[in-house]
Amino acid sequence: MITCELGKNRLKLLEGLVVVDNYGEKITEKITILDEFINSSSEYAIKQAAESIVEELQSIIDLVEHIEDTDVSQHFISKITMIFAEIEGCLVDKITPNYCCAVAIAKDEALYLAEWIEYHRLVGIDKFIIYDNDSTDNTADVLAPYVTMGIVEHILWQGVGQQNLAYLDALRRLRYESEWLAFIDIDEFIVPLSSETIVEFLRELSDDVGQVLIDWRSFNSSGHITKPEGLVIENYTMRSERNNCFKAIVRPSYALLDLIGARCPHWFDGIEGRTVNEEGIEIVGDLFTYIEGEGRLQHKMAVYHYLVKSKEEFFIRRSRAKADTGSTFCEERKITLEQLFIEADCYNYEKCFGKNKNDRYDIYDDYMFKYVDRVKEALTQTREFDQRR
């Protein structure tokens, strides 16, 4: 939106150049330089060039002040000052409509969407972009009240193996609509451990951070065979200690759109700035090596990953094709659903696949209980709103 306004101001300036022939060429040159900054590949690059931009703007003002026609001079100074103020805002603390949005691709997740949305609203997510990947359940009905409230953008997205493509679309679509984008699944809940909200955590990160990786805490069925009544966050309490994977929260304006890529649903290539962990420590080297590293204990943030749930729900979910590959876990592993469930429910799901099988779900974790009543109250309020529509 800032770029649009700058474009309007630039056109107004160019229209007046005929009045200042002696300085027209120089001013045009300076404005062209500014355009190069404004249309840079990422906001990170703009921030890196902040001092140079300020110098260029001051040069224009110095030139215009020598124009003999005072009215014209003031006109140009006024317009240039306006541009200066808008670019300065972009460089120092760019104002976007949202601070942090959540992006997810979902297929037949209607049973879980409302809880997931209401919980994340409580911890600071402003808006949700849901890519509906050929759902056949009542996903649209569940999302309808949130769409009406302006909280959810419901995007129909067809095809198999579409997760990474949907994520890349979100980076382009929301480039200047949100300071941060959290890329998570509907069975993943971002949990602030040392602050009240995700926003507080993100504001502590320095401006040179383009991507932060938040580790999982993975949960099993907690003994449930059939889907229990109540919320996911109150029913599943047994988790593993080792955290072998993570999800990314990204500054979309730092994405190099020509180079951006998602090698898997967990992080992105082509993000300028540093990639850090929840402690703000830079992660260097290949992330596939990092993902295979020893478990990391979270102190500030975690992604609570309810990847198993009850046996009934597990069978339903794992019968579907994966959003990132288009094939099922059983097809990839060449095992039955029963075998997959036994492995997933007894051991850390990702580590059990031919790797470590000693990491059981033996930690009782009721941290999410503090949100249960508030989430249920929010769900009730949304239902009442939906009934009045």
Question: Does residue 224 form part of some domain?
Answer: no
CA 91/CA 2 separation, integer angstroms: 11
Question: Does residue 318 form part of some domain?
Answer: no
Q: Do 199 and 145 belong together in one domain?
A: yes
What pLDDT is recorded for position 298? 72
Q: Do 25 and 124 belong together in one domain?
A: no
β-pairing verdict for 261-264 and 274-277: unpaired
CA 216/CA 304 separation, integer angstroms: 6
CA 176/CA 331 separation, integer angstroms: 40
**How many other CB atoms sit within 10 Å of the CB of residue 18?**
8
Q: Do 135 and 55 belong together in one domain?
A: no
Residue pair 238/219 in contact (Cβ under 8 Å)? The answer is: yes
Q: Do 102 and 78 belong together in one domain?
A: no
Question: Does residue 271 form part of some domain?
Answer: yes
- pTM given for the model: 0.75
Residue pair 31/10 in contact (Cβ under 8 Å)? The answer is: yes
Residues β-bridged to residue 153: 129
Can you give the CATH number for the domain in which 299 is found?
A: 3.90.550
Q: Do 67 and 160 belong together in one domain?
A: no
Q: Do 34 and 166 belong together in one domain?
A: no
What is the sign, positive or negative, of the torsion defined by CA atoms of 47, 174, 104, 236?
A: positive
Question: Does residue 125 form part of some domain?
Answer: yes
What pLDDT is recorded for position 241? 76
Q: Do 114 and 262 belong together in one domain?
A: yes
Q: Do 160 and 73 belong together in one domain?
A: no
| Residue 191 exposure: Cα atoms within 13 Å on the Cβ side | 24
Domain-terminating residue out of 45, 66, 93: 93
CA 255/CA 251 separation, integer angstroms: 7
Question: Does residue 348 form part of some domain?
Answer: no
Question: Does residue 338 form part of some domain?
Answer: no
Please tell me the total count of domains within the chain: 2
Instruction: Report residue 168 CA to chain centroid gap.
Output: 11
What pLDDT is recorded for position 91? 47
Give, in order, the Cα–Cα distances in Å from 98 to each of 17, 33, 174, 252, 378.
37, 29, 10, 12, 21
Question: Does residue 328 form part of some domain?
Answer: no
Q: Do 10 and 88 belong together in one domain?
A: yes
Place of tokens 């990092």: 290
* Phi, psi (degrees; rounded to nearest 5) at 132: -85, 105
CA-CA-CA-CA dihedral for 316, 321, 327, 329, to nearest 10: -30
- Domain span including residue 195: 98-218+236-304+370-379
pLDDT by residue for the chain (389 residues), tens only, comes to: 344 444 444 444 444 444 344 444 555 555 555 555 555 445 555 555 555 555 666 666 665 555 555 555 566 666 556 655 555 555 444 456 899 999 999 999 999 999 999 999 999 999 999 999 999 999 999 999 999 999 999 999 999 888 888 998 998 889 888 999 999 999 999 999 999 999 999 999 999 999 999 988 989 999 999 999 999 999 999 998 766 688 999 999 888 866 565 556 688 888 889 999 998 889 887 666 666 565 566 789 999 999 999 999 999 988 887 766 777 878 887 888 888 888 888 865 444 444 444 467 889 999 999 999 999 999 999 999 999 87
Q: Residue 46: name the closest of 93, 98, 97 by CA.
A: 93
Q: Do 47 and 177 belong together in one domain?
A: no
What pLDDT is recorded for position 310? 95
| Residue 248 exposure: Cα atoms within 13 Å on the Cβ side | 24
Q: Residue 160: name the closest of 128, 133, 195 by CA.
A: 133
Q: Do 16 and 152 belong together in one domain?
A: no
Domain-terminating residue out of 93, 117, 141: 93
Question: Does residue 312 form part of some domain?
Answer: no
Domain-terminating residue out of 31, 58, 93: 93
Q: Do 62 and 107 belong together in one domain?
A: no
